[in-house]
Every structure is written in C-alpha cells, then in structure tokens.
C-alpha cells in the first residue's frame, strides 16, 4: 500500500510543519474536472501544509467543504451557471440552495463568499446575463434570512472581456453595451459590501503579443516597465496593469473604493506547440513571482499598500478539461500530490531558503562590501527586486515601510538599495546573491545615512 504509507508520511510532515502561517490574500482554485483527484481529506491536508489562506470551489462539493472544516481556510463556493434561472425566478429555490449547501457546514467550514455563475456577462449574449442579478439577490435574501448576511458575501465572476479597453490602465473601461447589466450589478455589490471578481490572465495577453519584453512584463521579471501616459504611473508587470484597468472602470462608475478580487489567474506548465510561452519555467516564474509580489504588500500603482486577494488557477492539473493542452496543465500540484514546480508555498520556514545554484566555496575575505543597485536600472526593475526580496520572507522589510528608519526618502531606489543589501548580507555574501538579474553591484562605500543603518561585513 504505497499510497497509504505516503499519506502517513505526508501527515507526519504536515504535523511537523503546520506553523499556521497561511496568508489570506493567497488563494487557489480547486477545479475538479479530472478523474484522478486526491481524496478531499488529502487535499485539505495538502492545503494546510501551504501558506494558502483561501480556496475557491466551482460548485459546493460537500465532501471538500467538510474536509476543510476547522482549518480556518476561507472557502468560496459557486453556483453553477445552469442553476441561475431557477434561483432567479424562485426565491424558495435560493433558500433551498443555501439550506443544502451552506447551513450544514457553516461556521465550522469558513465559507466566505458565494460566487453566482462564472463569466456570464458577455457581449451579444443576454441569455443568462439578465437573470444573474435576480439570482444573486435571491441568494443574498436567503443568507439574510439565515442571519448570514454580511458574514457570507455574494458576488459573481467576470472575464476580462467585460472591458473594452484595458490599455493604458488609467483608461480602462467596461463595454458600454454591458452597462445596463453591470450598473445595477455593481450597485448590488456596493450595497452588500461584496467584491468585484475578475479573471485576469497575463498568459493570454502574452499569447496576443509574444515579444520577449512582453514575456518579462507578464512574468514579473525585470523589464523596462510601462508608463501610463494617463497618470504617470509606472507598471512593472501585466497583472497590476490589468487589475488597475478594472479599477479604472469601477472608478468611472463611481465605485473607486470597491474591493477587487482576482478570482482566477495562472500560467500553464505545458501546452500545444502553437501555445507560445506555455512552459514549466514560465509557469514557475509567473506563479512564484506573483506570490512574492502579493507577499510584498506593495499593491498596484492605483491601489498601493495592500495585496489584492488572488486565487491562483489551479490547485491540480485537470486531465478531463477540453480544449488546448494548456487547459489541462495549470496545476500547482499534480494529482499524485507532487509539486508541478516549486513556487514557495510550503509553509515551513526552512523552505524559504533558496540553495545557491553556483559553486558553494566560501568567498575569500575582503573589505566590507554592500550590495546596491547599478546606476542605469529602471524603477520597474528595482520594484521587481523589492517585491521579490520582501516577498521571500527571508528578510524583514519593516525598515522601509512607513514608520521604519529607512522609509525616508520614500523612493523605489532607496527602498530597493536597502532591501537588496539586506538580502545579500542575510542570504550569504556571495556574488550570486548580489545579482538580481544583473541589476545589482557591490560597493565598498557604506550607504548608511542618519538613522538608517545598512548592515555590512567586516573583515
Ligand atoms: C475565514 O477566512 C477568512 C478569509 O481567509 C479569514 O480572514 C478569517 O479569519 C477566517 N475565519 C476563521 C474563523 O478562521
């Protein structure tokens, strides 16, 4: 029984590692279009071994909801598109839906949101769209009757196709043809303090513009950045640009404070030969850098200082998904529970140390050196470094956050210099730890100033 002893081993490891460092802004989509998925209890243990704080289900599988009981993990459950007509036309059917799918599990299972339908609102398709809001309202009423209004939110999930313009982000706007439906829907979200949920995929943006500089921009890798001519914001990655385009659309509807949730984003680790960029390296880079970006709490240019709640697509590869090969290869994990690639989600502290890939001979003794940015490096590249370093959890970025000794001057250059040096001193004073994709250099000039001390090394 190999699988049995593997489970035992897994649960021992998890017991040893479960240090409860889950992060509420990191979520994952638990898709089930597969015939080889691990049992719900096994998946629940897997999730608890990570820093994932939230899970989104496309339906309301009771076995999974139960398996997540008392884990604290936030659970988004879904109403299938096909259930929308009956929920819209019959309040009793919404009551029954909540009675069957929510009440038996709550509050042991931490259901936080009901997503009514997925990517319903599209141009030229008003079949279900006109029934969406009535269905959401009936589900909300049913929750209110069960005294769960406000505790469990109701929303729906949109594709990026609801925007007709997303470049530059400050000009982001919704399709005017959808306004009759979006306007009251957004008013409903505001009345109930529910979030606007969207599925941005930089992977698809790269497919339509497959240049190397676009790839770096999509993968959160060092790049020259894109200036938004509308407001002067500098974007260092595509996802922030997509989310801020949505924010601009909401702002122009008077909803600038509405919370945005990324209900899905991800990158496939393989694809058909015509699916450019669908590789293991790119998937690791996208999801790993995304997680680091979220952990840095830097936010987006339009919404700084806070990480948008983000559900990565997806927990597992889904072998029964139709369509191009990439559709079956978005999983962070394979269904045998091995990682598709490591993105630093393991919640054991030790996993955050990246072993150097270079030679491990100790560097010869030399005079004190500090690691600082090279002069010609762009702000976007520096921000990428800050995101990576502060997201890695290896060092404490407190000194460059508001109130910290090195917060002033509040510039990306100053913050990056401090973070890059601290990383170098902490992770190991080896040349490869002062590289940051060739954006860094060593100096013997002490960069410390007033109360801001840059740690260094003495011979
Ligand atoms: C439920 O999940 C939400 C979202 O992750 C989290 O903020 C909250 O603390 C969780 N509640 C409990 C009781 O664990």
DSSP 239-277: HHHHHHHHHHHHHTTT-TT--EEEEEE---S---TTSTT
Report the pLDDT averaged over residues 238-262. 98
Q: Which of 414, 438, 420, 441 is nearest to 223 (CA)?
A: 438
Q: What is the C-alpha to C-alpha distance for residues 197 and 218, in angstroms, rounded to an integer?
A: 20
pLDDT for 207 equals: 96
pLDDT for 352 equals: 42
pLDDT for 358 equals: 35
Parse the chain into domains and list their residue ranges: 1-18+366-459, 20-328
pLDDT for 195 equals: 98
Nearest-atom number in ligand 1 for the CA of 53 is: 5
By most ligand atoms within 8 Å of CB, the mutation choice from 51, 112, 307 for ligand 1 is 112
Catalytic residue of the set 41, 119, 275, 408:
119
Report the pLDDT averaged over residues 281-297. 94
Higher pLDDT pick, 191 / 22? 191
Which long-range contacts link 373-377 to residues 24+ away (Cβ below 8 Å)?
Answer: 373/413, 373/416, 373/417, 373/420, 373/439, 373/440, 373/441, 374/438, 374/439, 374/440, 374/441, 377/439
* CATH number given to 20-328: 3.20.20.80
By most ligand atoms within 8 Å of CB, the mutation choice from 23, 54, 74, 309 for ligand 1 is 74
3-state SS assignment for residue 449: strand
Alpha-helix residue ranges (DSSP H) falling in 153-229: 179-191, 202-207, 212-218
Looking at every residue in the chain, the average pLDDT score rounds to 89
**Looking at ligand 1, which residue's alpha carbon is closest to its atom 11?**
72
Higher pLDDT pick, 190 / 24? 190
Count of beta carbons in the 10 Å neighbourhood of residue 289: 22
Per-residue pLDDT band at 122 (split at 50, 70, 90): confident
| 38-42, 155-159, 348-352, 379-383, range with the lowest pLDDT | 348-352
Residue 347 has pLDDT above 90, yes or no: no
pLDDT for 125 equals: 67
Q: Which of 134-148, 218-232, 351-365 has the highest mean pLDDT?
A: 134-148
pLDDT for 14 equals: 40
Quick check: is 213 catalytic?
A: no
Quick check: is 119 catalytic?
A: yes
Q: What is the C-alpha to C-alpha distance for residues 177 and 65, in angstroms, rounded to an integer?
A: 38
pLDDT for 430 equals: 78
Report the pLDDT averaged over residues 214-243. 94
3-state SS assignment for residue 165: strand
**Looking at ligand 1, which residue's alpha carbon is closest to its atom 1?**
74
**Looking at ligand 1, which residue's alpha carbon is closest to its atom 9?**
72
Condensed to tens digits (0 to 9), the pLDDT of residues 302-322 reads 999 899 999 999 999 999 999
Which residues line the pocket of ligand 1, CB cutoff 6 A?
24, 53-54, 72, 74, 110, 112
| 26-30, 65-69, 310-314, 357-361, range with the lowest pLDDT | 357-361
**Looking at ligand 1, which residue's alpha carbon is closest to its atom 7?**
24
Report the separation in Å between the CA atom of 110 and the middle of ligand 1, taken as the mean of its atom positions: 6
């Amino acid at each position: 029984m190999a699988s049995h002893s593997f489970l035992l081993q897994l649960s021992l490891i998890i017991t040893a590692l479960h240090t409860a460092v889950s992060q509420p802004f990191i979520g994952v989509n638990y898709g089930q279009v597969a015939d080889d998925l691990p049992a719900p209890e096994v998946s629940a243990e897997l999730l608890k071994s990570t820093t994932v704080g939230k899970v989104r289900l496309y339906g309301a599988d009771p076995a999974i909801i139960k398996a997540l009981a008392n884990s604290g993990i936030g659970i988004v459950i879904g109403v299938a598109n096909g259930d929308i007509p009956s929920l819209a036309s019959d309040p009793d059917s919404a009551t029954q839906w909540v009675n069957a799918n929510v009440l038996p599990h709550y509050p042991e299972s931490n259901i936080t949101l009901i997503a009514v339908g997925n990517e319903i609102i599209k141009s030229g398709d008003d079949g279900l769209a006109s029934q969406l809001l009535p269905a959401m309202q009936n589900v909300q009423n049913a929750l209110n009757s069960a005294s769960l209004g406000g505790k469990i939110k109701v929303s729906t999930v949109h594709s990026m196709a609801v925007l007709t313009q997303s470049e530059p982000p400050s000009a982001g706007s919704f399709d005017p043809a959808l306004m009759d439906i979006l306007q009251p829907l957004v008013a409903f979200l505001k009345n109930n303090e529910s979030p606007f949920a969207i599925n941005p995929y930089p992977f698809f943006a790269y497919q339509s513009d497959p240049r190397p500089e676009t790839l770096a921009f999509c993968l959160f890798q060092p790049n020259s950045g894109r200036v938004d001519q509308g407001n002067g914001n500098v974007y260092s990655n595509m996802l922030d640009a997509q989310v801020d385009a949505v924010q601009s659309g909401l702002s122009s509807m008077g909803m600038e404070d509405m919370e945005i949730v990324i209900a899905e984003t991800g990158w496939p680790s393989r694809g058909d030969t015509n699916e450019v960029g669908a590789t293991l390296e790119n998937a690791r880079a996208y999801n790993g850098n995304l997680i680091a970006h979220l952990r840095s709490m830097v936010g987006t240019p339009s919404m700084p200082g806070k990480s948008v709640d983000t559900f990565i697509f997806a927990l597992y590869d889904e072998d029964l998904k139709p369509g191009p090969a990439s559709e079956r290869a978005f999983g962070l994990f394979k269904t045998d529970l091995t990682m598709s690639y490591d993105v630093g989600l393991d919640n054991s502290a030790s996993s955050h140390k990246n072993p150097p890939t270079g030679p491990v001979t100790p560097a010869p003794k030399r005079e004190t050196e500090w690691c600082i940015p090279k002069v010609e490096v762009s702000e976007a590249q520096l921000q990428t470094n800050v995101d990576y370093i502060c997201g890695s959890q290896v060092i404490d970025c407190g000194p460059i956050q508001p109130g910290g000794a090195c917060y002033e001057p509040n510039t990306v250059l100053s913050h990056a210099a401090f973070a890059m040096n601290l990383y170098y001193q902490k992770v190991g004073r080896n040349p490869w730890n002062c590289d940051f994709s060739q954006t860094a250099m060593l100096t013997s000039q002490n960069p410390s100033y007033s109360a801001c001390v840059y740690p260094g090394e003495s011979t």
